[in-house]
Amino acid sequence: MNQFSLNDRENYHEKPKNDIFADAITRTQQPIVTGTSVLAFKYKDGIMLAADTLASYGSLARFTNIQRLYPVGDFTIIAASGDISDFQYVQHLLDTVMVEEYYTNDGHVLRTQNIYEYLSRVMYGRRSRFNPLWNSYVVGGYNDGEKFLGYVDLLGTTYQSSTIATGFGGYLAQPILRKAVEGREDTLTETEAIEIMNSCMKVLYYRDARSFNKFQRAKITAEGVEISGPYKAETQWDFAEGLRGYGP
């Protein structure tokens, strides 16, 4: 009976030697396991964000307990739409940066603006190498009494605003946020902010086929970062029984 040597075992799964693509450089052509919308806005005490916990494999609701709100340091949160594996890669990058910052111990800390600029350079650099990270990010933070909310996408495009929504949220929730929040950023209470966020998450669950009625909320204030949940929105589906093709 033939026995594999150690070298044979190590090379057993290699590509055939006559494969013309064996040394080819490959790129991710499209996201595979993805998360949908992220919502964020400013209110009186700081920044509030929300994202559901679903990661879809195509149209399959595959993973239902994925956290897409990620704390970076004591006063910053990043939230991601798009490819989950690319989001995990960015989490690793940011963890490495924060560990280096900790061991430097020079009396300075990375502010939200610094993390935002770093992330924008990472995204633009990957895009420039034709190997983008397939994500849209919302970066929120609170530093020295100043609220910060910014957006970065896979092209390295950036902007800052008092309300931000990614994915289908940009079409379905953003008009609600603009009407409810803009002009009230310094007077909106936390209770009112939660009501607005819950209302938007309910609309997304009704209208976005890749959304999920299980979401987390996060707030960033002078006290720091707090991620809570998961929560469920109050929904009503009785009206659907009257739709042709829905019921028996």
Active site positions, annotated = 28
Please give the Cα distance from 139 to 162 (Å, whole number).
Answer: 12
Partners of 40 in the beta sheet? 49, 164
User: Do the Cβ atoms of 150 and 160 come closer than 8 Å?
Assistant: yes
Which amino acid is residue 105, in one-letter code? N
User: Do the Cβ atoms of 80 and 34 come closer than 8 Å?
Assistant: no
User: Do the Cβ atoms of 133 and 89 come closer than 8 Å?
Assistant: yes
Please give the Cα distance from 63 to 169 (Å, whole number).
Answer: 20
User: Do the Cβ atoms of 228 and 49 come closer than 8 Å?
Assistant: no
Which amino acid is residue 146, in one-letter code? E
